[in-house]
Amino acid sequence: MAATTHHHNPDVNYINEFKGIGSWLTSLDHKRIGLMYMISVLTFFLFGGIAALGIRLELFSPGQTVMTADQYNQFMTYHGAIMVFMVIVPGIPAILGNFFLPIHVGAKDVAFPRLNLLSWYVFMVGALMGIATLFMHKVDTGWTFYTPYSIKTSGAATMMVVAAFIMGMSSILTGLNFIATVHKLRCPGMTMYRMPLFVWAIYSTAILQLLATPVLGITLLLLAAERILGVGIFDPALGGDPVLFQHFFWFYSHPAVYIMILPAMGVVSELIAAFSRKTIFGYTAIAYSSLGIAAVSFFVWGHHMYVSGQSETAGIVFSFLTMLVGVPTAIKMFNWLATLYRGSISFQSPMLFALGFLFLFMIGGVTGIMLATLAVDVHFHDTYFVVAHFHYVMVGGTLMALMGGFYYWFPKMFGKMYNEGLARVTFVFIFIGFNVTFFPQFILGAMGMPRRYFDYIPAYESLNKISTVGSWLIGIGFLISLYVIIDGLLRGKKAPANPWGAKTLEWQVPSPPPHTNFHHDPVVTAGPYEYR
Amino acid sequence: MSTVESHASHEHHFAHHFKSADHEFLTSKQGIWLFMVTEILMFGGLFVAYFIFHHIYPGMFAEGAKSLDWRMGFGNTLVLIFSSFTMALGIHQIQKGHNKKAVLSLALTILCGAIFMVVKYFEYTHKFHLGLYPGKYLDVAKVGAEHANLGMYFGFYYLMSGMHGLHVLIGMALIAWVLFRTMRGDFHSHYYTPVEGVGIFWHIIDLIWIFLFPLLYLVG
């Protein structure tokens, strides 16, 4: 470990300094842990993606075609549970956050490296428990585990719920680590206002992970207790209240929606500044709007329950509060657009994904305002309009940013360049495929097609066919991305330290970085985006 | 990786990513406090559920609380408060360099935890003996309950006190760990971070019990 600090051999880096699988599985290096998360999350993404393709294939035609109704419910449940708990929630924070947050603030590691490794193991235990239910009685509750059905189903819901609880613990530990790192490990000169906006976004996310996830934990334990002991808290037959489950569940899961999108906003801030070669517009506004979104997110959960029988007054209050989220979100949007204005924009693949994010997230956000409107939501509730809305946010937003971030930081993580032409092709497939898949679902929802059903009336057939074809385009796009990654790893040219000419700290160290990140302890004298 | 453990030396070797031992201490302490926030929020969920159903079924909760022996709960409360004192004393003694005295204080703290758990064991077995099981396992006719959903009260009772008891056990194990390390000479007046961290955990667990005691035993 001390070797790199004494003589700086440029060929020694965090990947090749220690060898063997054991050196990875016991590594306390945040960069290696980030890569371990990357491998696991990408594997789970493959599972979740296959489930999604299965859902769309069944919906290609009305009636039963490739699977039974029960199997469809299981596909839908695993698609949702895997994508939420194992892909999008850990995705950007645990992979890119782990790798770059410490370097961004000029630290040698996260505050608690052993805790960081532990959180990967905890995550894997939870994820494998969740996957193991595939070999038991498959779960068919949907990822939200709504009572009373989740109490009664014969599927292995208890095991799945415990798995989600364990993955929640991992999420808490990661968040805790990041908060302490940002508070305590910034290098000399790295004031809060000199941190990259990616760090601000991950920091806001970490606060949400820390405050919201314990409530999900206890909710899921109560559900497990309900199934095992029949306590009756959520069971109307015993004087309990199934809607209370929804309150508890969304008290976590709505902030969790921002756990999923805030890190993406952080990535996009980095990409837009770097590829516009311009100081980001409204740094403080973007930084504080992340915290603003995090704060408001705790008071909007009731918008999932407009038609669950909560009082009209509550509905009106939640409707107003939900629209409030639009304010900090729009602040970000305008600042990104203002950054683009008169920038020296280059359309490299990461930037394409960032611009794709702006388009798709815009649609996702505005339809969110429509759904926040009480009267409109009564019509749209539980239709494909909602499905399209949150996919525009989660896939069009988070996944686009994750892809852009992967390409942007690939040279730094692996020290290799990838095939830029092919990377642009993946963008074309994913962007077009995404819109072909999900835009028709807005129309289907407005026409009244309910979500989660395995069958539909013939009037919905043509739009469903278009949607399914779109899902194939997305699938092809991700297959090509997989090729781009493997090809880059095997045959990529050696990457320079700073291929994009960006200003944040990770680009000032070699690619890939040395084990302790910096050969000399960094001292920061300027902001992260001082391009001109 | 880097050396967190140092044997009887007064120079504590802090981990490589910190500037100084003090920097490491303050960061670790912040980490512990952040974790305590999550503990409180997790129990907070249980408290909210408790208050909602207590509001709907005050009579049922009163009936449930009546079958608990408040003297047992009160005695346990005193035991835990005393254990908080011995824990704080132990940290103070290590800070002053009196490691032998600290070992005694920590051992007393574990003993208090053990007394608490033994009392809980007798309470639980007595309830089981009377057929006061949680949820669907409580036979209303057999125990002659006035309220048909008395099982819900005992659901709360076993979940809340059980969750708390689990934390007491974990706390005892952690204190045993720092006790062992104190005896081995790992800690001294310049390095006692794990003892302080475990102490914070123990105080929070005691604090949660101080809320649980009136809610479970005295309500009605």
Tens-digit pLDDT profile for residues A121-161: 999 999 999 999 999 999 999 999 998 899 888 889 999 99
Q: State which residue of chain B sits closest to A26, comparing Cα positions.
A: B1
CA distance A220 to A214: 10
Distance from B55 to chain A by nearest Cα, in Å?
12
Contact A184 B30 (CB under 8 A): yes
**Mean pLDDT score across all residues of chain A:** 94
Select the residue from A231, A245, A250 to test the B interface by mutation, using most B Cβ atoms within 10 A. Answer: A231
At B60-102, the pLDDT tens digits run: 999 999 989 999 999 999 999 999 999 999 999 999 999 999 9
Name the pLDDT band for A314 (thresholds 50, 70, 90).
very high
CATH of the domain at B83: 1.20.120.80
CA distance B86 to B198: 13
* Paired tokens of A48: 């979740």
Distance from B119 to chain A by nearest Cα, in Å?
24
Q: State which residue of chain A sits closest to B51, comparing Cα positions.
A: A233
Contact A112 B37 (CB under 8 A): no
H/E element holding A169?
helix A157-184
Contact B41 A115 (CB under 8 A): no
Residue A4 has pLDDT above 80, yes or no: no
Distance from B166 to chain A by nearest Cα, in Å?
14
Residues of A in contact with B43 (CB under 8 A): 218
Q: State which residue of chain B sits closest to A208, comparing Cα positions.
A: B38
Residues of A in contact with B42 (CB under 8 A): 214-215, 217-218
Residues of A in contact with B57 (CB under 8 A): 239
Contact A238 B23 (CB under 8 A): no
Q: Could you tell me what percent of chain A has a pLDDT over 70?
A: 98
Beta-carbon contacts of residue A169 (< 8 Å; ≥ 6 apart):
A119, A122, A126, A213, A217
Q: What would the CATH number be for the domain defined by A3-508?
A: 1.20.210.10
Residues of B in contact with A28 (CB under 8 A): 1
Name the pLDDT band for B10 (thresholds 50, 70, 90).
low
Residues of B in contact with A230 (CB under 8 A): 135-137, 151
Residue B105 lies in a domain: yes
Contact A112 B31 (CB under 8 A): yes
The residue range of the domain holding B211 is 22-218
Query: Which residues 144-203 on chain B approach chain A with CB closer than 8 angstroms?
Result: 148-149, 151-152, 155-156, 158-159
At A174-198, the pLDDT tens digits run: 999 999 999 999 999 999 999 999 9
Residue B6 lies in a domain: no
* Long-range CB pairs of B186-190, under 8 A, 24+ apart, other chains included: B186/B5, B186/B6, B186/B7, B186/B8, B187/B94, B187/B99, B188/B8, B188/B10, B188/B94, B188/B97, B188/B99, B189/B94, B189/B95, B189/B96, B189/B97, B190/B10, B190/B11, B190/B12, B190/B21
Domain tally for chain B? 1
- Domain borders along chain A are 3-508
Strand partners, A416: A494
Query: Which residues 59-118 on chain B approach chain A with CB closer than 8 angstroms?
Result: none
Choose the closest CB to A214 out of B15, B27, B42: B42
Residue B112 lies in a domain: yes
Beta-carbon contacts of residue A84 (< 8 Å; ≥ 6 apart):
A143, A256, A260
> Residue B216: left (phi > 0), alpha (psi -120 to 50), or beta?
alpha
Residue B51 contacts A, CB cutoff 8 Å: no
Question: pTM of the entire structure?
Answer: 0.94
At B34-49, the pLDDT tens digits run: 999 999 999 999 999 9
C-beta atoms surrounding A313 within 10 Å: 8
Residue B17 lies in a domain: no
Residue B3 lies in a domain: no
Look up the ipTM and state it.
Answer: 0.91
Over residues A66-74, mean pLDDT: 95
Residues of B in contact with A213 (CB under 8 A): 38
